[in-house]
Amino acid sequence: MSIQPVDDLALKAIEQRHQLHERAEELKGKIQVTRERLDVKRNAREKFGTAAVAVAAVGLLTGFAAGGMFTQR
């Protein structure tokens, strides 16, 4: 019996373990990026001006529509 196949298997196991660790680190990085992108507080701070303008426009249009229902021309 030769020890060579056992050494080959051990080297393959080490290589596969290394690949698994690399993939796990890659996935952790992707998860971190996704969490940052979906962070509600950060997005609210960054998009506050746009959201405020949109809400104000909808409120203004709703007010004119409601006021138009009760006025006569």
> pLDDT value at position 4?
77
> pLDDT value at position 6?
84
The CB-side HSE value for 11 (13 A sphere, CA atoms) comes to 6
> How confident is the model over 29-39, as pLDDT tens digits?
999 999 999 99
Phi/psi-derived region of residue 11, left when phi > 0, alpha when psi is between -120 and 50, beta in every other case = alpha
3-state helix, strand, coil in the chain (%, to 5): 85, 0, 15
Domain boundaries, the chain: 1-38, 45-73
> pLDDT value at position 69?
86
Q: Higher confidence at residue 11 or residue 70?
A: 11
Global pTM value: 0.55
> How confident is the model over 36-50, as pLDDT tens digits?
999 999 988 999 999
